[in-house]
Every structure is written in C-alpha cells, then in structure tokens.
Amino acid sequence: MIHPILRMGDPRLFQRSQAVQQLGTPELKALVADMRETMLAASGAGLAAPQIGVPLRVVIFGFEHNQRYPDAEPVLYTEIVNPILTPLGPETDEDWEGCLSVPGLRGRVPRYSRIRYSGFDPEGRAIEREATGFHARVVQHECDHLDGILYPMRMRDLRLLGFSDVLFPDAEIVEE
Ligand code: NI
C-alpha cells in the first residue's frame, strides 16, 4: 500500500524512532513492502519508516537509476532494520541532497566520506557493509531520519538550500 509521505513541519519527523524488537514478523514484512511501494511511487532514492508515520528503526534505499539523482551511481536495493552506522575516518564530502519530506528543495550537506553500516534484513539476516560516495550519503541521510534529523539541520550554510528548478534550471531532475 502506498502511504502519504510526511512533510517537514510534521512533528513526527523530529521524533527518535524505536528499535524493532522482533525480526521476521508479518508486520515487519508488510511495513517494508509498503515502504518499498511508497518509495518507488515517489521515485525516491531511499525512505525511512518515520516518513510514513511509523516510528521504528527501518530504512530502505537503492536504485539502478534514479530520476531525482540522474548522475548518482547505482546503489544496491537494501532493506535494513535497526541500522548502526560508523564513520571510517573524519573525512567528509559536501554534495547536493534532497528528501521526499522536503519536496522541491535541494541543499549542500556535509556527510562522512566512508562509513561502515550494519543491521538486519527483515528476515533477520545480518547485514554489514562499507560504503563511500552516494551510497554512504544515502545511508547517512536515511539513518538520520530515525533520530529525527532532516538534512537542512546538517547544513552549514543555508544560502545553499534552494528550489531544485532554480538551482539547476538545465538539469533533468524529476521531483514528485
Ligand atoms: Ni529524507
């Protein structure tokens, strides 16, 4: 089922989400299926459960090609429950980011360049990976949602927050 995506201003986006207590349940599988359907319908690169009003530590991300980020390299589609993220070194990169909960806007956001992340898939199988580039960025963005953080809260210079069509008048970035 496709759910409405909460937009910035909704206090539920600023809550800290709770850990999932039991893996492999029909409820968890149904949540992830709904998140996937909702993300695909919005052409998102990722989605976190609190964005559909469910305060649980579940994120999904990944795409072969994404019309919201036409230049991004592919990221393996992943469903991850109770993710833990560890920076691998202090280096950061700043790049443009958007969010389905902040429609129409893009901002320059600093993120760790290299991370390790771990967690479980909905069946309970362990996931542990290292990531760089856009993959590392999207994981950090989605995990931030679980702690009630939206990307503008990570920005250093809010002059670099703007409307996509103003910032990139010639780009073929498809917003919802
Ligand atoms: Ni987001």
Instruction: Tell me how far the alpha carbon of residue 99 lies from the centroid of ligand 1, in angstroms.
Output: 4
- The candidate with the shortest Cα–Cα distance to 154, out of 100, 104, 96, is 96
Residue 114 lies in a domain: yes
Q: Identify the CATH number of the domain in which residue 162 sits.
A: 3.90.45.10
Instruction: Tell me how far the alpha carbon of residue 87 lies from the centroid of ligand 1, in angstroms.
Output: 19
Is residue 139 within 8 A of residue 85, CB to CB? The reply is yes
Residue 19 lies in a domain: yes
Number of domains in the chain: 1
Q: What's the pLDDT tens digit per position in 83-97?
A: 999 999 999 999 999
Instruction: Tell me how far the alpha carbon of residue 48 lies from the centroid of ligand 1, in angstroms.
Output: 7
What percent of the chain clears pLDDT 90, i.e. is strictly above it? 92
Whole-prediction pTM = 0.96
Residue 174 lies in a domain: no
**74 is in which domain, residue-wise?**
11-167
Active site residues: 142
The first and second tokens of residue 102, run together, are: 């902040």
Q: What is the CA radius of gyration of the chain?
A: 15
Residue 175 lies in a domain: no
Beta bridge partners of 112: 92
